[in-house]
Structure 1
Amino acid sequence: MSMPSRYETEISGSAMMAAMTEVHGRVWRQGRPQEDFSFDHVSDYLADDGTLVWVDVYDPDHATLTALADELKLNVWAVEDAMAPNERTKATVYHSHTFFTVYAIETVAPSDDSSSTLLKYRISGFVLPRGLITVRLPAETGGRWDTGQVSNRFDELGGQEHGVGALVHGLLDVVVDGHFDAVQALDDGIEALEDELFAEDGPKGGGLQRRTFRFRKDLVELRRVVLPMREVVSAIQHRRLDAKTSPELDPLYADLYDHVLRASEWTESLRDMVTTVFETNLSLQDARLNTVMKKLTGWAAVIAVPTAVTGFYGQNVQYPGIETVHGFVVSSAIIVVLVALLYVTFKRRDWL
């Protein structure tokens, strides 16, 4: 389900620019959804006690976002953070609003052993008393995160009765659910590595090492996204409690915080697991190499017996049995007996 109203505002200055900023919005009055959203009336919505508004801005131009911030009295540094590249997950409380940045995660099938299984979508938000302004930047892969699932989650919870706190909860809940899906996908991938690691024929080629290294990098990226979510949820919940609004949301935020903790702990445990897989693979490779060397050494010892005997009888000197049938029989018997003795001894010790 997409947001009902959609507007594209052209960025203009001294000359018209080709870039387009997409603006989506939803409005509720007295708990009822409205169809008359207009980006030009955002200030009026926020000034109306009985109105709740959600404005979603996709790929904004800096000038457009700055103009919106001036109109809504948003903190200038928060606006800069919303546009800055590689901003970390965080939440900052200002006098009139709360600013946060989170990353939604989507799992994809890797194209090869070195490809990532995660896609990140950055979402920044300005939480106002009667509205939520979200700013989304394009992903590096060109994909786009679906905001319709947030609308669905908000409607399912009947969030119109609880104001902006329910809207923010719906957004964060969908983001955290995506984190769980990503952790689950990585967990399944690591278990597949373990199964391949201890297979009877062992891992084939260098694919396991590459996939293990890829999982380690994915977990590092996921950890940077998941761990700071505790700070974000806590800051938003405490700011809302300070305002003493919608106490009915307390159990929902407590449950959301619990999900964040579980995702964080799961991510940490997976880091230990993938490190163990990496180290175990190296240990098994050393063990297999030792086994091969042991077998080669045993066969070399077995082969050395006939080499030594035939070498002795091949001397250019006189020795007992030279040029006689019984000399050939004795030398052959010595070779057979010693080889059989070494073979049985090494076999009992599992050297062959």
Structure 2
Amino acid sequence: MTVIDNAIYVGGRRAASPAVLAETFEALEQHAGGFAWIGLYRPDAAELGVVAEEFGLHELAVEDALAGHQRAKLERYGNTRFVVLRPARYLDEDERVEFGEVHLFVGGEFVVAIRHAEKPDLGRIRARLEAEPPLLARGPIGVLYAVVDQIVDEYAPVVAGLENDIDEIEEQLFSGDAAVAKRIYDLSGEVMEFQRAVKPLREMIETIRDELHDDQGEPELELRRAFRDVLDHVIRITERAEEYRQTLQNALSVHATLVAQQQNDVMQALTETSVAQSEQTKKISSWAAIFFAPSLVAGIYGMNFRHMPELGWGAGYPFALVLMFVSGFILYLIFKSKHWL
């Protein structure tokens, strides 16, 4: 059963608790000046269709309420407001933000609250209002205020959780942890989703506040003050969320700079190693060439062929020694002038 609670309120008091929706509509007719508050959890098309037909809900709003996955918004269809809110809660164990969705149809004598996630607990809001008859006596607009106020209050732990995550990222950023980039990216997505949930509330609350008038057309000062207080909270949360987004963008830039610096350090070390190896190669090649010249002379005169004129030459041996020394010395001077040695 998707009907979580179903009640008729008159003068801030619960006057009836119909068991089924059909009885709700009949009871509302019997309690003049009252209003119905119906709480639904992921209703199907048939069930919401019954409510829509009875209260004249616009088909486009009903379609949105059934589909879910809507952005936070306020739309008017005649005398009925269709409000979409995006509650959020911070999960300490997973260190992430979980988002929900609440749809409200607010008319002159009814409130239909549709919840698409486990949170927030709208039953707690109902219990709070039933303990405050003067606020509940304001009718459907009082219920709307209480729901918005509760959802905005529940943003506070989310802000604290995000701030703690960002502090951890700042520490992780300079520790060389390779996983920090993914964490920054994931957290940036959560912050942007949080901004999409909170940012529309400012215009939404201002619009509702400015529309509040009593039966004589005078401004509803009490409720306007209440909505203004919620608006102040929304503005502060919006500013904090924007600060978090900027901080994460800066963290991502710093991370990119650190990675680039590390890559430069590695490339510089490789370049220095390559240069050192090149110098060693030059030295080895130079000495190999110097020793090759005497070896060439010695190899030629060590072949001992019969017809070699130099073999019978008396100065042949000293000439060969001088030739080996001179050729090696000349090569040494050449390599030394080129700074290979």
2:129 aligned residue: 154
Q: Compared with structure 1, are the counterparts of its residues 311 and 157 closer, same or farther at alpha carbon in structure 2 (3 Å cutoff)?
A: farther
Say which of 168, 171, 174 aligns to 2:147: 171
Structure 1 gaps of 5+ residues are 1-7, 9-20, 328-333, 339-352
Q: Which residue in the other structure is 1:266 paired with? A: 240
Question: Paired residue for 1:48, among 15, 31, 34?
Answer: 31
TM-superposed CA distance for 1:263, in Å, is: 2.0
Q: Identify the residue that residue 285 of structure 1 maps to in structure 2.
A: 259
- 1:85-124 C-alpha deviation (Å, 9 max, x unpaired): 432221122332211111211222575xxxx823222211
What letter is aligned with 1:212? I
Counterpart-to-counterpart distance in 1, 2:257 and 2:248: 14
Shift of 1:287: 0.7
> Bigger CA drift: 235-244 or 209-218?
235-244
**Alignment match, 2:293:** 317
Question: Cα offset for 1:193?
Answer: 1.3
Q: Give the letter for the 2:79 counterpart.
A: S
CA distance in 1, matches of 2:207, 2:131: 24
How has the CA–CA distance of structure 1 residues 293 and 76 changed in structure 2, closer, same or farther, with 3 Å as cutoff? closer
* Counterpart position of 1:117: 96
What amino acid maps onto 2:6 in structure 1? Answer: G
After superposition, the Cα gap between the structure-2 partners of 1:238 and 1:48, relative to the gap in structure 1 and judged at 3 Å, is farther
Contact 2:16 2:27 in 1 (8 A): no
Q: In the superposition, relative to structure 1, how do residues 47 and 124 fare at CA in structure 2: closer, same or farther (>3 Å)?
A: farther
Which of 138, 151, 159 in structure 2 is aligned with 1:183?
A: 159
Q: Secondary structure at 2:196's aligned position in 1?
A: helix
CA 1:124–1:275: 2 relative to 1, 3 Å: same
Name the aligned partner's letter for residue 220 of structure 1: M
Residue of structure 2 in register with 1:3 after alignment: none
Question: 1:36-62 CA distances to partner (integer Å, 9 max, x unpaired)?
Answer: 444412453377355344210112121
1:233 to 205, 222, 230: 205
Three-state SS of the structure 2 residue aligned to 1:228 is helix
Say whether the 8 Å CA contact 2:12–2:130 is kept in structure 1: no
Counterpart of 2:88 in structure 1 is 105
CA distance in 2, matches of 1:156, 1:293: 70
Please report how far the alpha carbon of residue 155 of structure 1 lies from its aligned counterpart in structure 2 after TM superposition: 5.0
- Residues 293-304 of structure 1 mapped to structure 2, 5 A cutoff: 293-302=267-276, 304=278
Q: CA deviation at 1:172?
A: 0.6
Amino acid across the alignment from 1:221: E
Q: 1:153 to 1:287 in 2, by over 3 A?
A: farther
CA distance in 2, matches of 1:52, 1:91: 21
User: Displacement of 1:31 after TM fit?
Assistant: 2.8
Residue 3 of structure 2 corresponds to residue 22 of structure 1: yes
Match in the other structure for 2:64 = 81
Mapped contact 2:88–2:100 kept (Cα < 8 A) = yes
* Counterpart amino acid of residue 275 in structure 1: Q
2: CA distance, partners of 1:210 / 1:121: 24
Alpha-carbon spacing, 1:46–1:281, altered in 2? closer, same or farther (3 Å) = farther
* SS state at 2:79 partner: coil
* Closer/same/farther in 2, CA of residues 198 and 145 from structure 1, 3 Å limit: same
Question: What is the rounded CA distance, in whole Å, between the counterparts of 1:222 and 1:161 in structure 2?
Answer: 33
Which structure's CA Rg is the greater one?
2
Q: CA offset at residue 254 of structure 1? A: 0.2
Query: Any conservation in 2 of the 1:107–1:182 contact (CA below 8 Å)?
Result: yes
Equivalent-residue separation in structure 1 for 2:229 and 2:246 (angstroms): 26
CA contact (8 A) 1:98 1:236 kept: no
| Letter of the 2:124 counterpart | Q
Query: What is the alpha-carbon distance in structure 1 between the residues aligned to residue 229 and residue 101 of structure 2?
Result: 23
How many residue pairs were aligned?
Answer: 295
TM-score by length of 1: 0.72
Displacement, 1:35? 6.5
CA distance in 1, matches of 2:223, 2:103: 22
For 2:246 and 2:30, the matched residues in 1 are separated by: 51
Matched, 1:208 2:180: yes
User: 1:186: Cα distance to partner?
Assistant: 2.3
What code does the residue aligned with 2:5 have?
H
Aligned partners of 1:310, 1:46: CA distance in 2, in Å?
106
- Tell me how far apart the structure 1 counterparts of residues 213 and 254 of structure 2 sit (CA, whole Å): 48
**1:290/1:268 Cα in 2 relative to 1: closer, same or farther (>3 Å)?**
same
Distance 1:229 1:32 in 2: 29
- The residue that corresponds to 2:230 in the other structure is 256
CA 1:44–1:308 in 2, change beyond 3 Å: closer, same or farther?
A: same
Letter in 1 for 2:82: F
